[in-house]
Amino acid sequence: MGVNLTKGQTVSLVKQGGGELSQVRMGLGWDAIKKKGLFGGTKEVSVDLDASALLFAADKRVLDVVYYGNLRSADNSLIHTGDNLTGAGDGDDESIMVDLPRVSPQVAHIVFVVSSYSGQNFSQIENAFARVVDSADRDKELVRYQLTGSGTHTAVIMARLSRQGAGWTFTAIGNPGNARTADQLVPLAAQTF
């Protein structure tokens, strides 16, 4: 089990035995909303959350966006596994894999954002979380950030990977926003560094 992060907390992404991480994966999971039906039953309402990554230069220019409509970064260092439109299934519903040594040297920050394309807010969405795992070590969970119950916003600037010397740091941000798509979150994401 990884570290449960709180807003603004930063951790260095190094292996416990030493050495730098080489491959990480940001996973996003959630469940459909369960609503009580008119005659006592329950029905599920699908939720379409989207995991996205904004790649920034040190001067806050957006170099690339990885999301459901652009599944690979230009340098192929980030790969989105595809769009989940409902939240059905257990575990991570969407993932973005990051091959850290392949990330272009121009990229200073990778900001992970989550947005509710279907428009529900985080007070309504069940069991929403985002996490980072070490893909090279059997998906060992490094950090986890709970999203459910965080407010009536429809988007979150979840976290940031930032270059620090030859390695990377991970910062839990947790800044709320209102957006349906990643590009709408660029100005808010750029304020986090």
pLDDT of residue 47: 82
User: What are 150's two structure tokens?
Assistant: 């965080």
Q: How confident is the model at residue 75 (pLDDT cuts 50, 70, 90)?
A: very high
pLDDT tens digits, one per residue of 32-62: 777 777 777 777 777 888 999 999 999 999 9
Average pLDDT, the chain: 84
Instruction: Give the chain's domains with CATH numbers.
Output: 3-32+43-190 (2.60.60.30)
Cα–Cα distance, 86 to 106 (Å, whole number): 35
Q: How confident is the model at residue 18 (pLDDT cuts 50, 70, 90)?
A: low
Cα–Cα distance, 176 to 56 (Å, whole number): 19
Q: Collapsing DSSP states into helix, strand and coil, what is residue 188?
A: helix
pLDDT of residue 110: 95
Q: Collapsing DSSP states into helix, strand and coil, what is residue 185?
A: helix
- Chain Cα centroid distance, residue 88: 18
Q: Collapsing DSSP states into helix, strand and coil, what is residue 176?
A: strand
pLDDT tens digits, one per residue of 80-133: 998 877 766 677 889 999 999 999 999 999 999 999 898 888 888 888 888 888
pTM: 0.86
Q: Does residue 163 register a pLDDT over 60?
A: yes
Residues 10-25, mean pLDDT to the nearest whole number:
70
pLDDT of residue 78: 97
Q: How confident is the model at residue 187 (pLDDT cuts 50, 70, 90)?
A: very high
What count of Cα atoms within 13 Å lies in the side-chain half-sphere of residue 121?
A: 9
